Structure 1
Amino acid sequence: MKLFNSLEEIKNIKETVVALGNFDGVHKGHQELIRRTVKSAKMAGLKSAVFTFRNHPKNVLSGKPVIKNILYLEDKAAIIKSLGVDYLFSLEFDEEIQHMSAEDFIQKLLLDAFKMREAYCGFNYHFGYQAEGNPEILMKAGLREGFGIHVLEPFRIDGNLVSSTFIRNLIEEGKVGECMKYMGRNYSVGGEVVVGNRIGRTIGFPTSNILIDETMVTPAHGVYVTYCCYNGVKYHGVTNVGIKPTIGDNKKNIETHIFHFNKDLYGKEIRIEFLEKIRSEIKFNNVDELAEQIRKDCMEAKLYHQQHDKDIIL
C-alpha cells in the first residue's frame, strides 16, 4: 500500500475506486465498506484507495479536541493495509479543504487528485463546506461526470448500529469486552512507562505506569483484565485506570501489573489491550485493604486469562 499524507505527494497514480469516510475506528462497518471497494477495484482493473483525514474535522471546526481517537494513525494505516488497499490518501483537514464547496471537493479532490472512477461511502457520509455534500449530491455528480457511487446501508450487529460514536461510548462506559464484537480487535492504548509512586512494589504488586494520552478515548475508571504488549510479545496482566483515591494520587493514569514479569520497563514503550472490566475503582480505608482487593483482582484476571488462553499456565 502506498501512503500519501498530502496532495502534493499524489503523483503518477492510476485510476481508482475510493472508499470515502473518516474511518476513525476502522470498525467492522468500515471494514466491510473497504472490502467492497477492494473487490470492486480488482474486478474493474483499477486501484483501490481509501480517503480519510489525519485529524478529525470536528476538532478543527470546534477549535478543541471534542472527538477522542479510537486508533493511532499508524494502527489505522496498518489495518487499512491489511485489507488489501493500494492507496491511502491520509490528508490534513486544513483551511483549504475546510472551505471547499461540495462541487469543488468532488472535482478537485476526488476526480482530479485521486483519479476516482468509482466510490463507496456510508449512508451518512458528508463532505464539503459546512458538510453540505451527501450521497445524493455524489450520485448526481456521478451521473454528470461518469463515475459510479455505491452507498452502503447502515451496518448493524445484534441490532446495534456500528459507528465510531457507539464504540467510543462503549469504551468510556468501561464495556471494553464488547469492542472485539464491533471492531474485530481489542481496544488498546500505549505510551512510555513512567515512574509512579512505587506503592504497588511495596505491597507485592509492582506496576508499569503510562500517562493518559489526552488524544485517545480512555476506559472508565476501574480495574481490567489486560494484555501488556512489549517488544512484540503479549503478557497477561491486570490494569487499573483512574486516580488511585486510596493513596491520594488524583492524576488519572493507567497502571498495569504484569504476571510473572520482572523486567525494568521504565522509559520503554508498551501497549495495553483491554479485555474485560473486573470492577469500578473505589477508595479503601487503608493500603492493607487495597492490597487484599488487588490479590482478588489478580486471581480473577488470571482465571479469565486461563479460560480464554487454554495453552497458558499461570
Structure 2
Amino acid sequence: MELIRGLHNLRPQHHGCVATIGNFDGVHLGHQHVLEQLATKAKQFGCPSTVITFEPQPLEYFAGGAAPARLMRLRDKVNALRRYKVGRILSLRFNKALADMPYQEFIERVLVKGLGVRYLVVGDDFRFGKGREGTFAHLVAAGKQHQFEVVHMPTFNVGTDTETGRVSSTRIRTALEAGQFKKAEKLLGHHYKMTGRVAHGEKLGRELGFPTANIHIHRKVTPLHGIYVVTVEGLNDLVVEGVASIGTRPVVNGKKVILEVFLFDFNESIYGEQLEVSFLKKLRDELPFDSLDELKVQIVIDVEQAKDFFKQH
C-alpha cells in the first residue's frame, strides 16, 4: 500500500482508481463494509483502490481544541487501512488553501486530473469545498460529465445491548467516553486500541514500586481519561496483561496527557518499542491525591481489581 501525502505528490501512475472520501476515524465496521465494496470494484475495474482522507481532520482545523477526540492518529489509520486491501491513501493537508478551495476545483484537481477516478463512494450527506457548498448531487453531475460512477455509502447498522443504529465514529466515541467498552468493541469489530513508542519518563512509577511504560500518544484530545484494564502487544509474540493510566498525573502537577502502562509479571527494558494497548474495562477516573503514599495505596487496589478481571475473563 502506498501513502501519498498531498496533491503535489500525485504522479501519472496514480491516475485511474476507484476511490472513497472521508475521515475514516477508527476504521470501524461501517468503514470496513465500504472498503470491502471498494476492493470488489477495484478488482472489477482492474485498478487500485484509493482512500482520500484529511490531516488534520476538517473539524480539528475549524474547531481546534474544541474538536471531538479522534479515535486514531494517522499512523494507526494507515496500518488499519492496510489490512483491508486498500491500494493507496491520499492524505490531503487540511489547511486554509484546501478549506477555501471551491468544490468545482476540488472535483477537477483531485478527482478528475489528479486521480482519474472511475468509481466513487461517499456518504449521501457528504459536503465539501469552500463553505461546504459541494454536495452528493454535484458529484453525481460531475461523474456524468467525466464518466465515473458515484454511489453513496450504504448505511451499516449494528445492535448493542441498549440500542440499534448506524455505526459511526461519534457513536464509538460516546461509548468510550462512557466506559462502555463492550459496545465500542461491537461497533469497531475489535477492542479499542492505542499505539505508541515507549519513552523515558520521570520514573515516578518505579519509585512507587510500579514501573510503567510511558507512551506519548501525540493527540490534542483523547476519548479516554482514567485508569483501565488493558492488554499489550508488540513485545515479541507476547500478549501482556496490565493496568493503564491516561491523564495528566495531577499528583505531580502534570500538564501533558500521557499513557502509562504497568505490565504484570514483566521486567524487561522496552524503551523505544512500539506497543499496541487494548482497553478492556475502565476502573476509575483519574483522581488527585494529597501525597504519593495515597497514590501508591490506590495503585495497589487498581492492580488487584485488574488481576481479578483477568481471572474472570
User: Structure 2 length as normaliser, TM-score?
Assistant: 0.84
Q: Displacement, 1:259?
A: 0.4
Distance 1:54 1:45 in 2: 29
Aligned to 2:278: 273
Change (3 A) 1:63 1:253: closer
Distance 2:98 2:289 in 1: 52
Distance 1:144 1:91 in 2: 24
Change (3 A) 1:258 1:146: same
Distance 2:62 2:298 in 1: 45
Q: Displacement, 1:250?
A: 4.8
Unpaired runs of 5+ in structure 2? Answer: none
Query: Any conservation in 1 of the 2:203–2:211 contact (CA below 8 Å)?
Result: no
Aligned to 1:155: 156
Q: Displacement, 1:160?
A: 3.0
Q: Displacement, 1:83?
A: 0.8
Deviations, residues 197-227 of structure 1 (Å, cap 9, x unaligned): 52x4455433233456333524132x21112
Query: Any conservation in 1 of the 2:15–2:114 contact (CA below 8 Å)?
Result: no
Deviations, residues 167-211 of structure 1 (Å, cap 9, x unaligned): 22333333344332212232214244333352x445543323345
Kindly provide the amino acid, as one letter, of the partner of residue 151 in structure 2: H
Aligned to 1:193: 199
Kindly indicate whether residue 186 of structure 2 is the aligned counterpart of residue 181 of structure 1: yes
Aligned to 1:23: 24
Kindly indicate whether residue 71 of structure 2 is the aligned counterpart of residue 70 of structure 1: yes
Distance 2:64 2:300 in 1: 45
Kindly indicate whether residue 227 of structure 2 is the aligned counterpart of residue 226 of structure 1: no
SS in 2 for 1:169: helix
Distance 1:180 1:74 in 2: 20
State the percentage of identical aligned residues: 31
Change (3 A) 1:295 1:121: same
Aligned to 1:303: 308
Alignment of structure 1 residues 190-269 onto 2, 5 Å: 190-196=196-202, 198=204, 200-211=205-216, 213-221=218-226, 223-232=227-236, 233-244=238-249, 247=251, 249-251=253-255, 252-266=257-271, 269=274
Change (3 A) 1:294 1:96: closer
Change (3 A) 1:253 1:51: closer
Aligned to 1:100: 101
Alignment of structure 1 residues 126-145 onto 2, 5 Å: 126-145=127-146
Kindly indicate whether residue 165 of structure 2 is the aligned counterpart of residue 164 of structure 1: no
Greater CA deviation, 5-14 or 15-24?
A: 5-14
Distance 1:56 1:241 in 2: 23
Deviations, residues 64-114 of structure 1 (Å, cap 9, x unaligned): 572433222122112212111222212212333222222221122111111
Unpaired runs of 5+ in structure 1? Answer: 309-314
Kindly provide the amino acid, as one letter, of the partner of residue 145 in structure 1: H
Distance 1:43 1:304 in 2: 48
User: Structure 1 length as normaliser, TM-score?
Assistant: 0.84
Change (3 A) 1:240 1:59: closer
Kindly provide the amino acid, as one letter, of the partner of residue 168 in structure 2: S
Change (3 A) 1:113 1:274: same
Greater CA deviation, 138-147 or 16-25?
A: 138-147
